[in-house]
Amino acid sequence: MNDAPIGVFDSGVGGLSVLREIRKALPNEALLYVADSGAAPYGDRPREYIAARARAVTGFFLGQQVKAVVVACNTATAVAAQMLRSCFDIPIVAMEPAVKPAAERTRSGVIGVMATSQTLASEGYSRLTRKQGAGVEIISQPCNDLVALVENAELTGPRVEAMISRYIMPLLERGADTLVLGCTHYAFLAEAIKAVAGPNVIVLDPAAAVAKELRRRLEAGHLLASRTSAGGERFWTSGSPAQVQSVIGKLWGEDVDVRAAPVLGLVA
Ligand code: DGL
């Protein structure tokens, strides 16, 4: 069981920002990644659709005998993490927008949370902001359009800057000095976001914290890999393997083989 793989998924390539932190924190673990690109973006889909996708991908991972699943997608977490935990009897580690660290670090008392509309509309997000954001002003900004940029590996340039400015300037004008990246895709735009926001704005990505939580869960369950060699990664998609392979190659920084996952192909 200990050398079984870990499944990591997102609506597309955004979850690679979490996968790379997991890779650093747990080099000996075998990692399986599913980019559900055939169903992306999740951000403004109906909740039932997102929940059905999360269940299908997790079922696919169980068929690959994984020992744990990481929901590397804030939207799927917001909609489906609880359901996955009640349906599947393995550790399910999921995302949480970094509202708590943002509330601790802001000096102006105003933080901006960038996420998809479904994340921001979720009960989990309301609970999180009530609990962790007491005493600070939280401005929630849906940024759904940024996902397509990352899905096309378009991370720099005037178009990217213009889109980012449109989303974050209103937050900065209202005094936000801390921005929370509440969608795993946005981590790939962190440099562009910092360039637009300027040096006095803190930009927070929870990916490293999620990798740490995964490590903690594996340790607690005595599930850490026993192999001493690199665990390696394998990639699947419900979208076009050629297209996704080319984008993952750019974002992951090396050539990878991306396979079609037929069981995930039934996108409504
Ligand atoms: N990467 C996802 C997230 O963290 C969702 C992006 C999308 O498909 O809309 O929310």
Structure tokens at 171: 């937050």
pLDDT value at position 8? 98
- Whether ligand 1 lies within 6 angstroms of the CB of 14 is answered as yes
- Whether ligand 1 lies within 6 angstroms of the CB of 10 is answered as yes
Q: How far apart are CA 12 and CA 212, in angstroms?
A: 22
Q: How far apart are CA 111 and CA 157, in angstroms?
A: 26
73 among known catalytic residues: yes
In three-state secondary structure terms, 263 is helix
CB-based contact 235:7 (threshold 8 Å): no
- Whether ligand 1 lies within 6 angstroms of the CB of 43 is answered as yes
- Whether ligand 1 lies within 6 angstroms of the CB of 29 is answered as no
pLDDT value at position 174? 98
Strands annotated E in 11-146: 31-35, 68-71, 92-94, 110-115, 137-142
pLDDT value at position 44? 86
The active-site residue, picked from 92, 147, 183, 210, is 183
Strand partners of residue 31:
6, 233
pLDDT value at position 268? 46
Q: How far apart are CA 84 and CA 156, in angstroms?
A: 36
Pocket test for ligand 1, best of 37, 116, 120, 189 (most atoms within 8 A of CB): 116
Strands annotated E in 40-116: 68-71, 92-94, 110-115
Interval between CA 73 and ligand 1 midpoint (Å): 5
Cβ-Cβ contacts under 8 Å for 213 (sequence gap 6 or more): 93
Q: How far apart are CA 200 and CA 196, in angstroms?
A: 11
List the pLDDT tens digit at each of the 268 positions of the chain.
Answer: 789 999 999 999 999 999 999 999 999 999 999 999 999 999 989 999 999 999 999 999 999 999 999 999 999 999 999 999 999 999 999 999 999 999 999 999 999 999 999 999 999 999 999 999 989 999 999 999 999 999 999 999 999 999 999 999 999 999 999 999 999 999 999 999 999 999 999 999 999 999 999 999 999 999 999 999 999 999 999 999 999 999 999 999 999 999 998 767 655 4
CB-based contact 62:34 (threshold 8 Å): no
In three-state secondary structure terms, 31 is strand
Interval between CA 160 and ligand 1 midpoint (Å): 17
- Whether ligand 1 lies within 6 angstroms of the CB of 183 is answered as yes
In three-state secondary structure terms, 233 is strand
Interval between CA 41 and ligand 1 midpoint (Å): 6
Q: How far apart are CA 260 and CA 241, in angstroms?
A: 6
CB-based contact 248:35 (threshold 8 Å): yes
Q: How far apart are CA 207 and CA 96, in angstroms?
A: 9
143 among known catalytic residues: no
Q: How far apart are CA 23 and CA 32, in angstroms?
A: 11
